Amino acid sequence: MNLILIPIVLPIASALALLFISERTKYLKELLAIGAAVVSLLAAANIFLQPPPDLTLRWLGSWLAFSLHADNLSAFLLLAVSLFSAAISVYSFSTPNKGPAKWFFFNLLMTQGFAAGAALSDNLVAMLFFWEGLLVFLYTFIALSQDNHAARRTAMKAFLINGVTDLCLLVGITITAYIAGTASMSEISRDKLTLDYGWSMFAYVLLMIGAVSKAGAFPFHTWIPDAATDSSASFMAYVPAAIDKLLGIYFLARASVYLFSLNGTMQLVLMSLGAVTILVAVMMAFVQKDYKRLLSYHAVSQTGYMILGIGTLNPIGIAGGLFHMINHATYKSCLFMTAGSVERQAGTTDLSRLGGLFRAMPVTGVCFLIAAAAISGIAPLNGFFSKELVYKGTLDTGYTVFFLAAELGSFLTLASFLKLGHSVFFGDCPEGLKDAKEAPFSMLLPMTALAAICVAFGFGAELPLNWLVVPSLAGMNIPNPTMSGFHLDKLYFVSLIVILAAVINHILGLAAGGGKASKASDHIHYAPVLKETYALAERRAFDIYELGMDKAVPAVSRLLFKADRFFDWVIDTAPSSMAGFLGGTASRFHNGSYPLYMALTIAGAVIYILLAGGLK
């Protein structure tokens, strides 16, 4: 077997094998999932270090070829997918509230296998097959997390939002392949498509919609906060925090700099989408009072930095977007793991019912502090350096407004994590949590490993840049970006100002909230204008799914109902009424009177003669 098949075939085969294991069998399901994930990780590492030959099965030329290709970027993505799959499989060994274990690990392994296929596919049609397969397991992942109506409703919401945007992706791939004359990405990249006429622009926009929706960007993000409430921390740490982000940003980079040559207009569109995603989501995260729901909005907000970096279309910005992609998956997955640990040990994720857990859960607390500092862009952790590259990329475009939007996002990110950390791990410990203790080792191990990566990719940022990011750029024919001023420069001092402002804001919020950390955002939440805006958001006035289900769908349904009634009248009621009328009229003349029959016959004959030419 070609080594390139192992990360795809092994997880899928193991997932199918899980179906034959009884739910009551202890540990066998978990061990099988962990074993398959770890072996796939080793295979992915081997592929990254020594790329195997391509695997191609041709059916209809290059249009429907099953083609797997491990270039620098796809091998990097495969390694990341396999790493997080292995981490979550170990973490979930002792995680409760994830639904039936057999089905959880089945969904995890199937997601891993299909994500690996999407990463390695060189043919757009083959990639679409794996991409769409992920949609099925997204639904079952959420629907089986909890046995209630809310979980099934959220699963359907996620399915429909992603299903519609995946339909856009399908149409975009069809148009792209038709224009290029091939569905092979490597062949298209040799002579990139330009946005010089309508169809190529339309194709790129559709591909972009599919990519940013998978990554969870605004306005396609609204299912993610609901999933934080209605699913498990393991799912959140795996799919929205890691797999979806990796695949979405990967394909956005492929489409934006590998398949198409973008113009200035589309650059502004991408950068604007990134900035809006940052600000809208972080504003919502800042006022949340649930641990997982707060993190879910940050999972959306950080996507904006990646889109913003790629949208700069310059090497340093794209490098920042890709570096932030792997950094975000690392610290956000770690943060959701800390949320799962707290939920397991404390029984709640409500910030008002938590506090003082650092003494009882020191390892979880330290991992949280590292990951929270990383996502907030505090040096010298990994998040600072990837954000710094994005900042540099935005400044190089000359559009300072996007740099300011990104910095404002960093301020609000740190402010919300000061509130979250203070509410959960510091302050007074509620009476009901006095006996809380540290999470099991199987939960601490992957959490600690990811926190260590945050530190290693920060202090040794040159390692992931030179080994992962720069080769990925070279694989897309992007020149090596100049990293001058990468460490201590003016952006470092700007970050210090942002940190100071966030700390001052937290102190003011504590004072305004009566010393309760969970209310440290209330002074902004209930400020004039913002209060009304937040109220609308909480009523889901900006949720495209809710707007569609509550307003658009009922309106269209009523219109279709009226149209259906009209056609029923035209086809059924009107002919029946006309036939009845004519029949009734005829029956009044058909009364058996011989003189009447003769009169009608003569009248008909006269009319016929006149019509046949008698008038002449």
Q: Which two tokens stand for residue 574?
A: 């009107």
- For residues 67 and 214, the model is more confident at 214
The model's pLDDT over 373-402, given as tens digits with 9 standing for 90+, comes to 999 999 889 999 999 999 999 999 989 999
Band of pLDDT at residue 480, cut at 50, 70 and 90: confident
Question: What is the reported pLDDT for 485?
Answer: 45
Asked if 202 contacts 125 with a C-beta cutoff of 8 angstroms, the reply is no
38 vs 564, which has greater pLDDT? 38
* pLDDT tens by residue, 245-284: 999 999 999 999 999 988 888 999 999 999 999 999 999 9
Every domain of the chain and the residues it spans: 263-523, 587-616
The DSSP code for 478 is -
pLDDT band at 323 (very low <50, low <70, confident <90, very high): very high
88 pLDDT band (50/70/90 cuts)?
very high
- The encoded tokens of residue 433 equal 């949590």
Q: Residue 249 and residue 533: Cα distance in Å, rounded?
A: 30
Distance, CA of 158 to CA of 142 (rounded, Å): 9
Q: What percent of the chain has pLDDT over 70?
A: 93
Cis peptide before 380 (omega within 30 of 0): yes
Q: Are strands 66-68 and 55-57 parallel, antiparallel or unpaired?
A: antiparallel
Q: For residue range 142-185, what is the model confidence (pLDDT) as tens digits? A: 999 888 888 999 999 999 999 999 999 999 999 999 998 888 89
Q: Is the peptide bond before 430 cis (omega within 30 degrees of 0)?
A: no
- Rounded distance between C-alpha atoms, residue 243 and residue 377, angstroms: 22
d(CA 517, CA 373): 18
Confidence check: pLDDT of 62 > 60: no
273-311: pLDDT as tens digits:
999 999 999 999 999 999 999 999 999 999 999 999 999
Q: What is the DSSP secondary structure assignment for residue 290, as one 8-state letter?
A: B
* pLDDT (tens digit per residue) in 508-524: 998 988 888 888 888 88
Rg of the chain (C-alpha set)? 30
Q: What is the DSSP letter of 68?
A: E
Is the full-model pTM beyond 0.85? yes
Number of helices (H), then strands (E), belonging to the chain: the values are 27, 4
Residue 261's beta-bridge partner residues?
194
pLDDT computed for residue 428 by the predictor: 86
Name the pairing type of β-strands 260-261 and 193-194: parallel
Q: And the tokens for 18? A: 């899980």
- Running DSSP on this structure, what letter comes out for residue 458? H
